[in-house]
Amino acid sequence: MDKSTPSSTTDTDPAMTPATAPAMTWTERGTSTYRRTSIALFLAGFVTFTLVYDVQPLLPEFATDFQVSAATSSLALSVTTAALAIAILCAGAGSEMFGRRGLMFASMCVASLLNIAQSIVPDWQSLLVIRALEGIILGGVPAVAMAYLAEEIHPKGLGLTMGLYVGGTAFGGMAGRVLSGIIAEYTSWRWSLGIIGAIDLLMTFAFIVLLPPSRNFERQLKFDAGYHLQAWAGHLKHSGLPYVFMIGGLSMGAFVTVYNYAAFRLVGPPYELNQTQLGAIFAVYLFGIVASSTAGAMVDRVGRGPVLITGLAIMLAGIAATLLHPLFWVITGIALVTIGFFVSHSVASGWVGRMAANTKGHAASLYLLAYYTGSSIAGWVGGWFWAVEGWLAVAAFTGLLIAGALAAGLHLARTHPG
C-alpha cells in the first residue's frame, strides 16, 4: 500500500485494483493459512454481531421493564450501532498505526466484558450508556477485518473469504437473537446478556490463536490528521465507492427495521409468541449464513453487479411477503429479507476492497459508517411508522429504502461491471 498518495483512490480506472499492487505476499486459497484466516474472521464476525444484536429480541422486555415506548426501546440497539458507526472511522485510522490483529482482539475482549456488565445495570439510562460504550469499542473490528482480508487474501479467493466473514456476522446475529430469547424465557434478560458476554469472551481467545499476523500491512508511524482526511476525501470522490456506501446504509437500515418491529408484531395479537418462539424465528439467520458464502463464490464466477441486484430484489420480495397475515408467510418474508440482505452486503463489502486501490481501512470505515448510520437512523425512525400505522407503514418505509439501494446497484452494474 502506498501511504503517500491516499488521494489516488479518486482514479477513474476501474482496472486499478489490489491485484496490481506490487510486492504483495498473498494468502492463497486452499492453504492452511487461508483456512485459519477464514475461521478466525468467521469468529470475529460471530463475536461482534452476537454482542450487537443480542438485545433485539429483548426490546419488548425492555419496553415493559423500563416502561418505555417501542421506539425508545429500540435505542438499546440504535445507540450501539450509532456509536459503532462513529468509532469505525477512528478504528480504521488507528489500525493504520497500531496494526489490524491486536486492535481486533482488544476490541472483542473489552466489548464482551461490557456485555456482562449490562446484566447488572440499575436503570434504563445506564443500559444505554453501556450499550453506547460497547458500540464504540466494537468499532475496532468490522472495518479492520475488511481491510485485513483485502490486504492478505489473493483477489481470486477474496470473494469466498469475505463471504465467510459475512457468514460469521450472520451466524453471530442469529445466535445473539436466538440465545438471548431462549435464555431470557427461562431466566431473565439480565442473565441472557451476561451469559452471551461470557461465551463471546471465550470465542475471542480462539480468534487470536487462529489469526495469522499481517504480512502486507504497512504501519504508519505517527498520526497525521491531514493524511486521514485526504484518504477519506479521496474515497468519497471515487466514481463508484459512494454508491456502494449508499447501498450498505439503505439495505442495512431496511434490514434492522424489519427485525426490530417484527418482534413487536409477533409478540402481539394474533400471533402472541413467547420469547423462545420469537428467538426460534430468528433462526432464519441460518439462511443468511448460506447466502453470504454462496454469494461470495458466485461473485468470483459471474461478477458483482448481477449478484448484488439479485440480493436486493429478494429483499423486496421478502417485504411483500410479510404483508400477508398467515404466520408462515410472515416468517418466509423475514427469511427472504435475510437472504437478500446478506447477499447484497457480502457483495458490497467485497466491492469496497476491490475498488479502493489503497488506504483500504479508510474505505472500509466509510462503508461501515454508512452501514451503521443507516441501521441507527432507520431502526429508530421505523418506530414512528410502527406507532402510526403498524406493520403496513413499516413495510412501506423499508420498501422505499431497498428501492433506493436497488437504484444505486443498477448504476454500479452499468458503470463498474465485473
The pLDDT of residue 140 is 79
Of 20-29, 186-195, 312-321, 354-363, the one with minimum mean pLDDT is: 20-29
For 40-61, the DSSP string reads: HHHHHHHHHHHHHHTTGGGHHH
Instruction: Please name every residue paired with 27 in a beta bridge, in sequence order, or none if there are none.
Output: 153
Which cell goes with 294? 454462496
Residue ranges in 118-154 assigned as alpha helix (H): 124-138, 142-152
Lowest mean pLDDT among 15-24, 128-137, 371-380, 388-397: 15-24
What are the chain's domains? 31-210+234-415 (1.20.1250.20)
The DSSP secondary-structure symbol of 18 reads G
Mean pLDDT, to the nearest integer, of 208-236? 77
* Interval 255-283 mean pLDDT: 88
pLDDT interval class at 342 (50, 70, 90): confident
What per-residue confidence (pLDDT) applies to 93? 64
Higher pLDDT, 156 or 3: 156
Collapse the DSSP code of 237 into the 3-class scheme (helix H, G, I; strand E, B; otherwise coil) and give the result.
coil
> What band does 418 get if pLDDT is binned at 50, 70 and 90?
low
Residue 355 CA to chain centroid, in angstroms?
Answer: 19
Weakest-pLDDT range from 22-26, 92-96, 198-202? 92-96
**Residue 140 gets which letter from DSSP?**
T
Q: Are 363 and 353 in contact (CB under 8 A)?
A: yes
Q: Hey, how many other C-beta atoms are within 10 angstroms of the C-beta on 4?
A: 9
If pLDDT is split at 50, 70 and 90, which confidence band does 6 have?
A: very low
| Longest distance between any two alpha carbons in the chain, whole Å | 62
Q: What percent of the chain is predicted at pLDDT more than 90?
A: 46
Give the pLDDT score at 346.
85
What is the C-alpha separation between 395 and 320, in angstroms, rounded?
Answer: 8
Weakest mean pLDDT among 12-16, 178-182, 296-300, 353-357: 12-16
| pLDDT surpasses 80 at 333 | yes
Highest-confidence segment of 114-118, 183-187, 225-229: 114-118
Q: Give the mean pLDDT of the chain.
A: 85
Residue 321 has pLDDT above 80, yes or no: yes
Which cell numbers in the block locate residue 196? 452471551
- pLDDT at residue 274, rounded to an integer: 86
For the cut 70, the answer to whether the pLDDT of residue 3 exceeds it is no
Average of pLDDT values for 116-125? 95
Q: Is 110 left (phi over 0), alpha (psi -120 to 50) or beta?
A: alpha
Q: Is the pLDDT of residue 1 over 90?
A: no
> How high is the pLDDT of residue 397?
98
Across the strands, what pairs with 153?
27
CB contact set of 414 (below 8 Å; sequence gap of 6+): none
Share of the chain above pLDDT 70, in %: 90
- Say if residues 235 and 356 touch (Cβ distance below 8 Å): yes
Burial of 121 (0-12, 13-18, 19+ CB in 10 A): middle
Euclidean distance between CA atoms 327 and 277, whole angstroms = 12
pLDDT at 147: 79
| 7-28 per-position pLDDT tens digit | 333 333 333 344 444 567 777 7
Q: Cis bond leading into 60, ω under 30°?
A: no
The pTM (predicted TM-score) of the whole model is: 0.75
In angstroms and rounded to an integer, the radius of gyration of the C-alpha atoms of the chain is 20
pLDDT (average), residues 194-200:
96
